[in-house]
A and B are shown apart, each in its own frame.
Chain A
Amino acid sequence: MKPNCEMEILLVEDNADDVELTLHALRSDKLANKIVVARDGEEALDYFFRRGQFSGRSPDSRPSVVLLDLKLPKVDGLEVLRVIKNDPQTSAIPVVVLTSSKEEKDMVASYQLGVNSYIQKPVDFTQFRETVKQLGFYWLVINQPPPAIAQGKK
């Protein structure tokens, strides 16, 4: 199995260091050729609904997986999750919460909103890199993405 070059990952992460380390982990295995970074909740929603800097985005391009941090400026991660899981156009897109917190209420809320996976970022970088690699491999290679029709394309 080879990663699909069409595949796109949306990373929603406000912390530049985390963005750097995550990208480092993802790129080290050349899992995806396109990683889009949204630096807060609002940008993430702009991405999904092709607004602002993402207004020119092709409606056909869609992320194979969204890596979503919870603690975000403006619109927080749970709100982003709520919006995209409630919208028929975006509800089928796999979303993985990737966050520092292991708070029970965050986990419960995320799963109730329909998150596809919940992963706590390990403090240890070796473990972190391993984790990110594994989840990238899983969602981009092992997992079958939802067919386009199920993504609410009209």
Chain B
Amino acid sequence: MRWNLNKKVTAGFAVALAVMGIAEFISYRSTDRLVETSRQVNHTQQVLDALGTLLITMDDAETGQRGFLLTGNDSYLAPYDVAGNQVSDIVESLDKLTTSDPVQQRDLASLKSLIRQKQDELATTIALRKANKAIEADQLVLSGQGKKAMGSIRAVIARMQKREKTLMDARNSQWEASARRTTLLVAAGVVLAFAILLFAIFVLDREVEGRIRAEQTLRQSEARIRLLVESARDFAILMLDPQGRVASWSPGAERIKGYRAEEIIGQDWSCFFPAEDIQAGKPQKELEKALADGRSEDEGWRVRKDGSRFWANVVIAAVRDEQGQLQGFSKVTRDVTERRQAVEEIRQLNQNLERRVRGRTAELEMANKEMEAFTYSVSHDLRAPLRHIDGFAQLLVEEYGPQLSEEVQSYLARIQGGVKQMGQLVDDLLNLAHLGRKEINLQATGLGPLVEQVVNEMETEIGERAIDWKIAPLPFVECDPGLLKQVFANLLANAVKYTRPRERAVIEVGLAQENGQPTIFVRDNGVGFNMKYADKLFGVFQRLHRAEDFEGAGVGLATVQRIIHKHGGRVWAEAEIDKGATFYFTLQLPADPSQKAA
């Protein structure tokens, strides 16, 4: 576009110049011709003058002759003598002036001969008069010979004068026409050149205006960029020359690095690096990387003017012109010390946390081990003495029974009752403790068969009692079947136990919806309990009934709750004294692991 324009403008100027040159040439030629014409006019005038002078001179000579002839006085001969000398000069000059015109030369030749005739007549008459032959002289005059010659001279001169004038007029009119044409041509050339120039100027002007606009836009964008660079307080934005010397500086750079522009411009940029990096040649490597890849990014320690360090994020880009020539490097530095400190703090916090978690885990593991050792010991050592008490009491009864009073036998029976209760308690407690450590083992389990199995195993406890079982169809669920069996065993055992006073016990197992969640319930028509104490129901060793009314250790429902919680579910009860109780539980199992992963 620019090249094209240059060509256009140059061509315009060249054409304009050429047109002007041609006009100039034509004008020059025309002037030349004008000079020539005026020279010719001058020449014609000379010819005319000479012819006029010639006629006057001839008249003078004739006048002198007539005076002398009349008077005989010699003084009248003076003009004649002068004319005699002049005529030949005049004729000679006329001959020179008209050499290029054959017509005039011919007339001049006849004029010469007429002049000679006239001069002869004059000389003859004068000679006669001098010889005092006046009469003969008068006769000769009267013969009209001289007059006739004089008349011819006049006629020839008039003809020659007329011809010169005609020639001059022709030349003049020819010159005028040529001058008019020239003027027209020159005017046209000038107009054309002017038009071309105008066009060129218009094009140039438009281009210049465009460039001015572009320059203005560029200046505005430069100003904006400068504003941006200068207002970026958290970034040091600067330029390096191709050798790595600082070429420009920004307020952000001053804020971050501490140097003022006049201190740092022209300095090598390696002064921003710590000594060890300079030794390792890092500044040079950074520039080389920016040269090779166009860009290099680094995070590391940098040094301020006062020697303090900051953690910097630095991006360097090679800046090249349109020809690919390296102009320098742009460099943007950000002080990310705080971020690094934050990251470091987080890392340390994490470390601390991990250490504490490890510590706690170790403590927990230790506590767990102690607990295990404790339960292990309980299961061994607490049961053995009970067995011994029961065993020897039994042997007493068996081997010495007849010798013992009824009272002693009753005491022994109470001892054995206590042992039995304590044995059950130890077993229940061990079971509960065991649950805490046990991993649950999930399987798809049909709850129906599970309940059926539990009911069958309770046969001995039920004995002859009349129990109306209402077991609804139950779903398949993901659960630990062993643990769920324990849940049903405990809940159903409770139901059987607390319906003992009923002549006809009704025990129901079913499925309900609670808040849109499938809920299993076990309902009985037993003695129930006061809802005031419902919150104590699931606590270990918490009992709502006297032991002599209903035996039990207060571990069963605690175990149920622990199992249900292990399954992520919830268990609760509703009851009314003497109307019965209902126990509900849900099994909110952990989300499907495959879904979790997604």
Quick one: CB contact mask for A1-34 with B, threshold 8 Å, 1 for yes?
0000000000000010110010010000000000
Residue among B386, B391, B419 having the largest count of chain A Cβ atoms under 10 Å: B391
Q: Which residues of B contact A62 (CB under 8 A)?
A: none
Can you list 25 A-B pairs, Cβ within 8 angstroms, ordered by A? A17-B392, A18-B384, A18-B388, A21-B387, A21-B395, A24-B395, A71-B380, A100-B384, A101-B380, A102-B430, A103-B375, A121-B387, A122-B387, A123-B386, A123-B387, A123-B419, A123-B420, A124-B390, A124-B419, A124-B420, A124-B423, A125-B391, A125-B393, A125-B394, A125-B395
Q: Which residues of A contact B430 (CB under 8 A)?
A: 102
A121 to B390 CA separation, bound complex (whole angstroms): 12
Task: Flag whether A144 is at the interface (Cβ < 8 A).
Answer: no
Residue among A21, A100, A104 having the largest count of chain B Cβ atoms under 10 Å: A100
Binding site for A on B (CB under 8 A): 375-376, 379-381, 383-384, 386-388, 390-395, 419-420, 423, 426, 430, 434
Interface residue count on the A side (C-beta < 8 Å) = 21
Task: Flag whether A118 is at the interface (Cβ < 8 A).
Answer: no
Q: Which residues of A contact B379 (CB under 8 A)?
A: 100-103
The answer on a CB contact under 8 Å between A15 and B390 is no
Q: Which residues of A contact B392 (CB under 8 A)?
A: 17, 21
Q: Which residues of B contact A17 (CB under 8 A)?
A: 384, 388, 391-392
**B387, B390, B434: the one within 8 Å of A100 (CB):** B387
Further 11 A-B residue pairs, CB within 8 A, beyond A18-B384, A100-B387: A17-B384, A17-B388, A18-B388, A21-B391, A99-B380, A100-B379, A102-B379, A103-B376, A123-B419, A125-B387, A125-B391
A134 to B530 CA separation, bound complex (whole angstroms): 47
A113 to B390 CA separation, bound complex (whole angstroms): 32
Which residue of chain A lies nearest to B420 when distances are taken between CB atoms in the complex? A124
Task: Flag whether A49 is at the interface (Cβ < 8 A).
Answer: no
The answer on a CB contact under 8 Å between B380 and A128 is no
Q: Which residues of B contact A101 (CB under 8 A)?
A: 376, 379-380
Q: Which residues of A contact B390 (CB under 8 A)?
A: 123-125
Task: Flag whether A53 is at the interface (Cβ < 8 A).
Answer: no
Q: Which residues of A contact B393 (CB under 8 A)?
A: 125
Task: Flag whether A126 is at the interface (Cβ < 8 A).
Answer: yes
Q: Which residues of B contact A100 (CB under 8 A)?
A: 379-381, 383-384, 387
Nearest first, the 8 A-B pairs at minimum CB distance are A123-B423, A125-B391, A17-B388, A125-B394, A21-B391, A100-B383, A125-B390, A100-B380
Q: Which residues of B contact A129 (CB under 8 A)?
A: 394
Which residue of chain A lies nearest to B377 when distances are taken between CB atoms in the complex? A71
The answer on a CB contact under 8 Å between B383 and A121 is yes
The minimal Cβ–Cβ distance linking B562 to chain A, given in whole angstroms, is 17
Q: Which residues of A contact B426 (CB under 8 A)?
A: 123
Q: Which residues of A contact B434 (CB under 8 A)?
A: 104
Q: Which residues of B contact A18 (CB under 8 A)?
A: 384, 387-388
A103 to B426 CA separation, bound complex (whole angstroms): 13
Q: Which of A63-86 contact B (CB under 8 A)?
A: 70-71
Q: Which residues of B contact A102 (CB under 8 A)?
A: 379, 430
The answer on a CB contact under 8 Å between A21 and B388 is yes
A43 to B529 CA separation, bound complex (whole angstroms): 57
Q: Which residues of A contact B391 (CB under 8 A)?
A: 17, 21, 24, 125, 128
Quick one: CB contact mask for A87-106 with B, threshold 8 Å, 1 for yes?
00000000000011111100
Q: Which residues of A contact B388 (CB under 8 A)?
A: 15, 17-18, 21
The minimal Cβ–Cβ distance linking B1 to chain A, given in whole angstroms, is 91
The minimal Cβ–Cβ distance linking B425 to chain A, given in whole angstroms, is 10
Which residue of chain A lies nearest to B382 when distances are taken between CB atoms in the complex? A100
The minimal Cβ–Cβ distance linking A87 to chain B, given in whole angstroms, is 27
Which residue of chain A lies nearest to B434 when distances are taken between CB atoms in the complex? A104
Q: Which residues of A contact B384 (CB under 8 A)?
A: 15, 17-18, 100, 121
Q: Which residues of B contact A104 (CB under 8 A)?
A: 434
A24 to B394 CA separation, bound complex (whole angstroms): 12
The answer on a CB contact under 8 Å between A126 and B394 is yes
A129 to B387 CA separation, bound complex (whole angstroms): 11
